[in-house]
Amino acid sequence: MKNSALVKILFTLSSITFNADAILIDRGNGLIYDDVLDVTWVQNANLAGTTMDWDTAEMWVKDLSFAGFDDWRLPTLMFSSGPNNDKNDFNFNCGTGRFNMDASGCDFGWSSSSVTHELAYMFYVNLGNFSSVNTDGSTRSTGALNSTFQDSHGRTGNFTNLNSSLYWYGNEFDSSEAYFFATSTGGQFKLNKSASFFAWAVRDGDVIQKTSVQLSSIPVPEPGFGLLFLTGLVAMRKNLRL
């Protein structure tokens, strides 16, 4: 009986782990949290119910109040070596039809899995979709657009109304053009702001309040604590055998 109790204690202790592999977590109320990018997406990828030009999309998302939050924005496309609209990282020196985005090579803008390209990261990494164009410019069949995901607990979730179309980024290229991502092909580029695309709302951070106990306030065990703990368990087991 005593041995059984000890086994249960050891099993419980061995089960205490920290999950570092979670990507998307369904927070309920139509909200999906990405713990890699540390952003929360609206589960409905077409909450506005229509397409709109870039300026209208910007106004819509800034005025949006959803699930108790009013700090929504459009997804961002950030370049690693400069401001969001740094033209030095968006050049056309790769030949006809090709361009270099974020020093990723002459890849036509497809297949970016950079965490600084929020829509591309969602499309390729979180949802596991493929582009219709390889990095060498050749085409391929991609199949239907996937909008489902599996969280760290093995549960299947999904985004609703994710259209195989074009979605605005919140970044301007200049006064007349802005960036967009194509869920129909997996490419991203820039186009005149007057074009009519979908808008997908996202906000920074998690919607779940962090624990009130700060990590810095938790005492850090002495280096020898683990060894003393294991030694105590061994001694306990010997006593139970007596």
- pLDDT tens for residues 145-202? 999 998 877 889 999 999 999 999 999 988 999 989 999 988 888 899 999 999 999 9
Residue 108 or residue 164, greater confidence: 164
User: Across the strands, what pairs with 28?
Assistant: 31
Which segment of 70-79, 110-119, 134-143, 211-220 scores lowest on mean pLDDT?
Answer: 211-220
Percent of the chain with pLDDT over 90: 43
pLDDT of residue 145: 94
Element of type H or E holding 124 = none
Residue 29 has pLDDT above 90, yes or no: yes
Which token pair is 27? 């927070």
Q: Average model confidence (pLDDT) for the chain?
A: 75
pLDDT band at residue 205 under the 50/70/90 scheme? very high
DSSP conformational letter for 184: T
Residue 18 has pLDDT above 60, yes or no: no
Residue 229 has pLDDT above 70, yes or no: no
Residue 209 has pLDDT above 80, yes or no: no
pLDDT of residue 219: 47
CA atoms within 13 A on the CB side of 235: 6
pTM above 0.75, yes or no: no
pLDDT of residue 102: 52
Helix (H, G, I), strand (E, B) or coil at 164: coil
Q: Where are the domains of the chain?
A: 20-241
pLDDT of residue 177: 93
User: Across the strands, what pairs with 181?
Assistant: 167, 188
Residue 30 has pLDDT above 50, yes or no: yes
Listed ranges 12-16, 111-115, 229-233; the one with the highest mean pLDDT:
111-115
Residue 130 or residue 84, greater confidence: 130
- pLDDT tens for residues 72-105? 999 998 765 444 434 444 444 555 445 555 545 5
Which segment of 21-25, 56-60, 237-241 scores lowest on mean pLDDT?
Answer: 237-241
The dihedral sign for the CA sequence 121, 126, 127, 131: positive
